[in-house]
Amino acid sequence: MSLLVVGVEGRGLVDPEQPVFRADDEALLRGSVAFETVRTYDGVPFLLDRHIRRLRFSIDALALPAAEAVEELVELVTGAAPPDHVLRLYRTEQLLVATAASLPDGLEEVRARGISLCSVDVGAPAPLLAGAKTTSYGEAFAARREAERAGADDALLVADGLVLEAATANIWWRRGDELCTPATRAGVLPGVTRELVLELEAVTAGAFALSDLAEADEAFTTSSIREVMPVVTLDGRAVGDGAPGPAAARLQAALRLRSSG
């Protein structure tokens, strides 16, 4: 993704080529940053109020300064960006920043074929920041690299045999007519797209063993940017018939319909 627009509270729009964060900001020293990623359709950030609500929860969890002017900063940045883009919000100890970037290439081609996951045991997640979205993605990205070395597209994080989530997305699967997803807890982020799916469908949320997912009829992930992404293999074995399934297609269509309204 290419960075297109950068806005900083108190400074307005700044040159995307110029540095923004100071070297003594806790964001760089200790990774103390609350952030959100929002997909913008036709100039309108999708489910922005929910993202801002979670951003403020994360800010409180990290004991960072409030983000009072976030809506105004979003309006400034989205107004200067192309109609469809990736909006990101950052709250550090010193700064409130919003950026706009281009969407990743090839998302629809990937959606048409589906992705492969490799399970990676990450151990018991720490509960102190449960529910907060921070930039501390070191473990998740290390798991993704491990999955990529095994020939998969992404990692499925597992702790004590229980399914958590993908590296940057929530995970779902269908067994017959039953749609399942891990309940939110430490290691399972309450995703904004996840919240929307829970409103659209009857879902069983709970603690599930990896074997539950391995035996599913279909699976998919959800995230703000990649939306609903079918999963066709897990640990080298086909999920269901090894092709994108009907629940993923139905929910992707519902998401797009909602975003256009």
Q: Tally the C-alpha atoms within 13 A of residue 200's C-alpha that lie toward its C-beta.
A: 18
pLDDT over 90 for what percent of the chain?
86
Q: Do 127 and 186 form a contact (C-beta atoms < 8 A)? A: yes
State how far the Cα of 35 lies from the Cα of 22, in Å rounded to an integer: 17
**Per-residue confidence (pLDDT) for residue 221, from 0 to 100:** 98
> What does the pLDDT look like over 48-72, one tens digit per residue?
999 999 999 999 999 999 999 999 9
Question: Which bin fits 131, alpha (ψ -120 to 50), beta or left (φ > 0)?
Answer: left
Cα 156 to the chain's mean position, in Å? 14
State how far the Cα of 65 lies from the Cα of 48, in Å rounded to an integer: 20
**Per-residue confidence (pLDDT) for residue 136, from 0 to 100:** 72
Give the closest residue to 57 by CA, choosing from 184, 163, 247: 184
3 state SS of 80: helix
| Whether residue 30 has pLDDT greater than 90 | no
In the chain, the domains with their CATH numbers are 3-101 (3.30.470.10), 111-260 (3.20.10.10)
Mean pLDDT of the chain: 94
State how far the Cα of 258 lies from the Cα of 41, in Å rounded to an integer: 11
**Per-residue confidence (pLDDT) for residue 146, from 0 to 100:** 93
| Whether residue 106 has pLDDT greater than 60 | yes
**Per-residue confidence (pLDDT) for residue 139, from 0 to 100:** 84
State how far the Cα of 48 lies from the Cα of 107, in Å rounded to an integer: 22
pLDDT grade for 137, boundaries at 50, 70 and 90: confident
What residues form DSSP beta bridges with 118? Answer: 155
**Per-residue confidence (pLDDT) for residue 135, from 0 to 100:** 65
**Per-residue confidence (pLDDT) for residue 70, from 0 to 100:** 97
State how far the Cα of 218 lies from the Cα of 17, in Å rounded to an integer: 43
**Per-residue confidence (pLDDT) for residue 260, from 0 to 100:** 87
State how far the Cα of 64 lies from the Cα of 100, in Å rounded to an integer: 23
Give the closest residue to 129 by CA, choosing from 191, 57, 181, 51: 57
| Whether residue 128 has pLDDT greater than 60 | no
